[in-house]
Amino acid sequence: MDTSAAQAPLFDAGDAEWVADLFDTMRAGDLDIVIDRLESVAVLMRKAAKARRMLATIEPDLLRAGLRIRDTRDGAS
């Protein structure tokens, strides 16, 4: 295999669209943005865990009534 042969460039040096795509890719993986997303997920998970703990203490009849209301809400949307 001849490794001394010149290789074709992977991109056209004047391709601004390619450069813009690189900026988008870099921004999507920006640490501050990822941390903000993770914090949002953590808040959502904490709320879900709290709701799960609270639901565990509710009377079964009230749970059933709550599920019926929730089902009608889902059907209305």
Torsion of CA 4, 10, 15, 16, to 10 degrees: -120
Categorize the per-residue pLDDT at 19 as very low, low, confident or very high, splitting at 50, 70 and 90.
Answer: confident
Q: 52 lies in which domain range?
A: 29-76
Asked if pLDDT for residue 15 goes beyond 80, the answer is yes
Q: Is residue 67 part of a domain?
A: yes
The Cα 10–Cα 3 span in angstroms is 16
> One-letter amino acid identity for 51?
A
Q: Is residue 72 part of a domain?
A: yes
Q: Is residue 10 part of a domain?
A: no
Residue 40's nearest CA partner among 48, 28, 29 is 48
Asked if pLDDT for residue 7 goes beyond 90, the answer is no
Total domains present in the chain: 1
Average pLDDT over residues 34-39: 92
Asked if pLDDT for residue 1 goes beyond 60, the answer is no
Q: Is residue 1 part of a domain?
A: no
Q: Is residue 17 part of a domain?
A: no
